Structures are given as C-alpha cells and as structure tokens.
C-alpha cells in the first residue's frame, strides 16, 4: 500500500512545491542575469561602434599625416648647435610617439659649419630615437642668436634636410 | 443485450460505449405490461418478463468501468460525478429496491465534463438474490462484510460498494487489494483499505462508509458524498502531513488528507512537470547568458583593439589655450604648432618665423594663443613651446588630444 500523500514521483506535495519554488527562483535569477548581460552587450556594442568609428578616423588621420622621414639639419651658416628639439614620429605599431630633448637633460647637437647633421639620440649603446619625424621643432643657436625651425616631414628639403642658417 | 431472470444486463455495443435503445430490447421484453415509475427519472419502465424486469431508458454514454481505465479523476470532478451517481442509488433505495451488486459497469455516464453529469444506474434487479460464488469472485472488491457473511443485501451494502467506487474514482485503485478473491475478502473483513496514490482522500468519510456495521454507515449515498465533499474542502488549507499507508476501519484514527493550495489534484499530477519546465527554462537562460557573456568578451576585446588603434586619432584641431596656475608670470619665448589647414594638410606655424614677440601669461590666468597678425588662428594638433618662468626654461611638446580639459598647463608648480 502506498502513501496517499505522496506524489507519483515519490515526492510529497511539499517537496514538489519546494522544487518548483527553487526552479522558479533559478529561472528568475537566470532571467535577470540574461537581461543584465544583454544590456551590457548592448553597451559593449555601442562602445565597439564608437571605437570602430575612432579607428576609421585614425586610419584617415594616418593617411593624412605624412610618413616618417629621418630628420637632418643642413647647416648653411656658421657653427652652431641644436639647443632644443622636439620630434613626433610613427612607431611600428601605428601610434605616434615624441622625443623631447629637454626630457633628456637638454641634450644638444653640434652643427659644424656647412654640414648636414642627422638628428638622433642614443642612451649608451641603445638608440632611443632614430631621428624619424613627421613633425619637428628645433632651436638652433649661434652665439646669442636662436633660430626656431619647425616643419613636417612632407616639407623637409630634398634628402630630408631642415635648413638652418638660412634667413 | 440479454434479459436473464430478474437481471437486466447491459452490455456495451462497442468497447466502453453504450448505445441502448428500447427497440433493441423489443424482442426480449414483452410489451403491454409496462408500469411507469414517474418518481424515478432514471427509470422509465418496469415490465414483466420471465421475472420482474426494470428497463432503463435508452441513452448514450460511457460505462464508468471504461472511464476508470483512464485513471483517477480530479477530486472536484469525482465529487460531481459521485453526487449524480448517489442520486440514482438513493432513488433506488427510496423506492424500496436494493442493487446488491454495484460495480463500475453499473453506471453509465453522459456529460462527465458538465457540472451535473447524467448518470444511469443499470444492471440491477427488482428482487435481490444472494450472489453466487462466481458473482462473489466478480464483486469481491466491493462486497460489504454482511454480504460476505451471507446476509441479505441492504441499502447500506450498496453504500459500501458505492464507497469502493468513490475510492476508485479518487485514487484509480480498488480500496481492498489482494491477489486472490480470498485475500480481497480478508482485507475487507479486516477493515484494511488502501489510501491509494492520489493527492488527497476523504479518509474520515471513507472510513465510515467502510464500517463493518451497516448501521454505522451514512444514511444515504448522497450524505456520504456530502461528507467527502466537506472533508476535501476543509483540507484545502496549508499542507498537511502525509496520510498513513493503510487505514483500519472505524473512526478512531482519522488521517489528514494531503492538501495543496489552489488545485491540489492538478498540482499533484503536474507539480514536478512545472518545476521541471522552470528548471529547464533556467538552464536555457543560463546557457544563453553564457553565450552572451562570450559575445561581450569578444566585443570588449574588439573595442580594446580598436581603441588602441584609435589612440592617436588626430582628426580634429584643438584650440590652443594655456593656463598659468602659478603665482608668477610665464613667458612663451618660442612656439611651433602643427595643425590641419582647410585642405586637411598638416601645416606648421612658428612664432619666431612669424616674428612674433611671444606671449606673456599673467599669474593664475588662461590665455588663448593665436598669431596677432598671421594666418594662425590657434588651431593645434602638435605643439612645441619654449617657456620661461622665474629664469628657468621649460620645453613643452605633445599632441593636443592629450592635453586635459583643453588647457595646457605651462607653469611649474
């Protein structure tokens, strides 16, 4: 003889009700999590759309910006020296970095008269800036006179030379 | 169909289905001896054949025996049906007859889904005769103790059998089990009846209807049905303890019937299914969430890559503005900027080449920079500033997009 209060599956009605409550609770938690994740996914897709837009713009910028060229100073005047230099250049991973001589202890470069001097900077044996530039600004000092030379790699003179000493 | 002695036996024309017609009995029942019993709408005619015969009006319906093969009924439905059945049995008793052999095939039911199903009581005799051994074997599951002892059938005997039918309707099982007739009869005499497997049983009412003493049973089958109805209704309170597996006769040990909230019968049958469906839904949502989470991770990785690539987006010119947050004047000696011109060509402006005298920025002030007489309107993408403050020189360079809040701090703090 079997228990009249038992469910066919062997569970009491209270057990079945408890199972049902647990199942409903699990469903509600899963549902809430699903909805939350969907909202998060929507936000992520929005961010993705914006990022892709930025990427597109970055690509346009990259196409608009000139390419790297080695920065050289053609000294058309007497002996002088580069007292300040800042140069921006493309890195291999497509970002733009800069070199600032003031951050390297106000490093200077000598400019012998009538010579062309490539600009680069090494720290011991390690070359930290190879002279590549898409935009540069250089201050050349002769005596008490200081000349600011700025430009882009697109308008460097032939051979990649920024003219100093020309007035 | 056949008419034999004092019994009218109705046999199904098709399995589980009766379609009785008076005309079908024409060859057997002798016409001209009819006696109308207007007090009993279930019975239309009493005729004299070889013995007294009650002829039941022809109608269509399902044998209760066939209905029972589909399993137990919901308690509310069972009570409705039992009430109609009780009306017929009580009417028989009121007219002074006793059925004596009530069994599922004694009832033909029409309109089970209705609030008041039509029930026809058949298979009974005007003059009761003690059951033969073969009939005892056939009726053993619903034979009242007094009939087992060979006593004459009473209305209470019908009530006992009616109780067995009620039990079967509610549980789908016979109250007195046993693998053999003798075991069944022994179970009946010992008063041990099964509670079955249904969700609820009106234990008190059934205990009373299965009493050994006919006098302890109900006054009528309708009273028994009322008692069951009340008991089931009263049990629709919060969950009760499970009933005992078997119950001995008498009233001494009432056992609470299992009760569930709104629709206990339905819940007992479908509760696990509902729980399973919700669990399956929860599982499906979990799987879906996992996929969504993976998509989020992919999208975020994609965003990271895109942002990295877009880090140096320089699409727009900034507007050159410097901030002197110090208490001292700052002199901008030299300035060079690169900016997009209207043809989107990177163009250079040099302050010295334009013979600009430089800018003096007062303490705690901001200043927009542009050439006083030149073509430069302050647009900036790259900047280079050589500034002097209190005899110290600084070289400021960078891209304008990295300048916070659109104002370049030029003073040393």
Q: What is the DSSP string of B198-252?
A: SS---HHHHHHHT-SSGGGS-SSHHHHHHHHHHHHHHT-SS--PPPPSEE-SSSS
pLDDT of residue A140: 93
Contact B310 A57 (CB under 8 A): yes
Of A22, A31, A41, the CB nearest to B292: A41
Taking CA atoms, B406 is separated from A57, A133, B323, B386, in Å, by: 20, 25, 10, 19
Q: Is the pLDDT of residue A100 over 50?
A: yes
pLDDT of residue A157: 57
Q: Boundaries of CATH 2.60.40 in chain B?
A: 318-409
Residues of chain A contacting B289 with CB distance shorter than 8 Å: 30, 33-34, 37
Contact A154 B346 (CB under 8 A): yes
Beta-ladder partners of A96: A90
CB half-sphere exposure, B364, CA atoms < 13 A = 1
Q: Is the pLDDT of residue A113 over 70?
A: yes
Q: What is the CATH number of domain B318-409?
A: 2.60.40
Contact B334 A23 (CB under 8 A): no
Helix (H/G/I), strand (E/B), else coil: B343: coil
> Would you list the DSSP string of B242-306?
PPPSEE-SSSSS--PPP--SS-HHHHHHHHHHHHHHHHHHHHHHHHHHHHHHHHHHHHHHHHHHH
Kindly report the nearest CA distance between residue B36 and chain A, in angstroms.
45
Q: Is the pLDDT of residue A13 over 50?
A: yes
Q: Which of B377, B373, B393 is nearest to B385 (CA)?
A: B393
Residue B148's Cβ-count burial label (10 Å; 0-12, 13-18, 19+) is: middle
Kindly report the nearest CA distance between residue B93 and chain A, in angstroms.
32
Selected for mutation to probe chain A from B290, B291, B295, B338 (highest A CB count within 10 Å) is: B338
Q: How far is the C-alpha of B13 from the C-alpha of B1, rounded, in Å?
A: 8
Pairing of the two strands B321-324 and B408-409: parallel
Q: What confidence tens digit (pLDDT) does each residue in A123-140 have?
A: 877 778 999 999 999 999
pLDDT of residue A39: 94
pLDDT of residue B191: 78
pLDDT of residue B35: 34
pLDDT of residue B311: 61
User: What tokens were used for A49?
Assistant: 């759309």
Contact A3 B243 (CB under 8 A): yes
Please state the rounded mean pLDDT for residues A88-94: 85
Residue percentage of chain A with pLDDT more than 90: 43
* Sequence spans of domains, chain A: 1-64, 69-164
Pairing of the two strands A72-75 and A161-164: parallel
Residues of chain B with pLDDT under 70: 1-60, 123-128, 196-200, 236-264, 308-315, 353-356, 372-373, 413
- Looking at CATH, the fold of the domain delimited by B2-266 is given as Transferase(Phosphotransferase); domain 1 (1.10.510)
Beta-ladder partners of A138: A85, A149
CA torsion through residues A24, A29, A32, A38, sign:
negative
pLDDT of residue B353: 57
- What angle do helix axes B75-94 and B155-171 make, rounded to 10 degrees? 170
pLDDT of residue B356: 64
Are B157 and B99 spatial neighbours (Cβ–Cβ below 8 Å)? no
Contact B242 A5 (CB under 8 A): yes
CB half-sphere exposure, B181, CA atoms < 13 A = 10
Residue recorded with tokens 């006054």? B219
Mean pLDDT over each residue of chain A, to the nearest integer = 84
pLDDT of residue B127: 60
pLDDT of residue B379: 92
Residue recorded with tokens 């890195």? A91
Q: How confident is the model at residue A91 (pLDDT cuts 50, 70, 90)?
A: confident
**A86 to chain B: closest CA residue:** B397
Residues of chain A contacting B239 with CB distance shorter than 8 Å: 13-14, 17
Contact B395 A54 (CB under 8 A): no
Helix (H/G/I), strand (E/B), else coil: B314: coil
Contact B289 A30 (CB under 8 A): yes
Flag whether residue A146 sits within 8 Å of chain B, measured between CB atoms: yes
Q: How far is the C-alpha of B322 from the C-alpha of B136, rounded, in Å?
A: 114
Q: How far is the C-alpha of B103 from the C-alpha of B100, rounded, in Å?
A: 9
Helix (H/G/I), strand (E/B), else coil: B32: coil
Q: What confidence tens digit (pLDDT) does each residue in A40-87 have?
A: 999 999 988 888 887 777 777 667 778 889 999 989 889 999 999 999
Helix (H/G/I), strand (E/B), else coil: B182: helix
B64-83: buried (b, 16+ CB within 10 Å) or exposed (e) per residue?
A: bbbbbeeebbbbebbbbbbb
Of B197, B281, B293, the CB nearest to A6: B197
Q: How far is the C-alpha of B70 from the C-alpha of B328, rounded, in Å?
A: 100
Run of H or E including B76: helix B75-94
Are B355 and B373 spatial neighbours (Cβ–Cβ below 8 Å)? no
pLDDT of residue B9: 35
Flag whether residue B202 sits within 8 Å of chain A, measured between CB atoms: no
Of B194, B197, B282, the CB nearest to A23: B282
Q: What is the distance, to the nearest Å, from the Cα of residue B163 to the centroid of all Cα atoms in its chain? A: 31
Q: How far is the C-alpha of B102 from the C-alpha of B85, rounded, in Å?
A: 11
């Amino acid at each position: 003889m079997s228990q009249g209060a038992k469910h066919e599956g062997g569970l009491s009605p209270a057990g079945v009700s408890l199972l049902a409550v647990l199942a409903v609770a699990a469903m509600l938690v899963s549902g809430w999590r699903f909805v939350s994740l969907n909202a998060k996914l929507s936000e992520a897709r929005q961010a993705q759309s914006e990022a892709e837009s930025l990427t597109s713009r970055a690509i346009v910028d990259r196409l608009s910006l000139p390419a790297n060229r080695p920065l050289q100073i053609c000294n058309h005047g007497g002996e002088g020296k580069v007292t300040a230099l800042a140069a921006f250049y493309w890195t291999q991973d497509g970002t733009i970095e800069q070199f600032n001589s003031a951050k390297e202890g106000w490093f200077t470069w000598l400019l012998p008269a009538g010579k062309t001097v490539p600009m680069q900077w090494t720290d011991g044996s390690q070359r930290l800036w190879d002279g590549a530039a898409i935009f540069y600004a250089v201050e050349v000092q002769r005596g008490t006179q200081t000349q600011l030379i700025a430009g882009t790699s697109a308008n460097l003179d032939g051979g990649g030379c920024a003219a100093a000493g020309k007035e | 169909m056949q008419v034999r002695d004092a019994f009218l036996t109705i046999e199904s024309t098709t399995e589980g289905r009766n379609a009785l017609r008076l005309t079908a009995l024409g060859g057997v029942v002798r016409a001209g001896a009819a006696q109308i019993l207007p007090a009993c709408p279930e019975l239309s005619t009493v005729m004299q054949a070889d013995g007294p015969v009650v002829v039941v009006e022809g109608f269509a319906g399902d044998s209760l025996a066939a209905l029972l093969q589909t399993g137990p009924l919901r308690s509310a439905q069972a009570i409705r049906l039992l009430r109609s059945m009780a009306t017929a049995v009580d009417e028989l008793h009121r007219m002074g007859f006793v059925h004596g052999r009530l069994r599922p095939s004694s009832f033909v039911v029409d309109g089970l889904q209705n609030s008041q199903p039509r029930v026809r009581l058949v298979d009974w005799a005007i003059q009761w005769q003690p059951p033969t051994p073969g009939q005892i074997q056939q009726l053993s599951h619903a034979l009242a103790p007094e009939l087992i002892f060979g006593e004459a059938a009473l209305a209470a005997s019908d009530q006992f059998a009616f109780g067995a039918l009620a039990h079967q309707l509610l549980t789908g099982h016979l109250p007195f089990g046993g693998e053999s007739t003798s075991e069944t009869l022994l179970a009946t005499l010992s008063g041990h009846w099964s509670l079955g497997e249904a969700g609820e049983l009106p234990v008190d009412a059934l205990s009373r209807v299965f009493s050994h003493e006919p006098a302890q049973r109900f006054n009528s089958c309708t009273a028994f049905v009322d008692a069951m109805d009340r008991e089931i209704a009263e049990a629709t309170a919060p969950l009760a303890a499970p009933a005992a597996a078997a119950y001995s006769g008498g009233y001494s040990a009432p056992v609470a019937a299992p009760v569930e909230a709104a629709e206990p019968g339905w819940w007992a049958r479908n509760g696990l299914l509902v729980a399973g469906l919700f669990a399956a839904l929860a599982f499906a949502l979990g799987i879906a969430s996992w996929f969504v989470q993976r998509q989020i991770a992919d999208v975020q990785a994609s965003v990271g890559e895109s942002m990295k690539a877009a880090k140096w987006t320089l699409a727009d010119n900034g507007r050159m503005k410097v901030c002197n947050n110090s208490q001292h004047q700052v002199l901008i000696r030299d300035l060079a900027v690169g900016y997009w011109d209207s043809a989107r060509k990177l163009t250079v402006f040099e302050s010295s080449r334009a013979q600009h005298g430089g800018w003096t920025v007062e303490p705690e002030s901001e200043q927009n920079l542009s050439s006083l007489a030149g073509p430069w309107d302050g647009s900036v993408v790259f900047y280079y500033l050589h500034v002097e403050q209190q005899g110290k020189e600084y070289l400021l360079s960078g891209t304008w997009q990295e300048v916070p809040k659109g104002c370049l701090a030029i003073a040393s703090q």
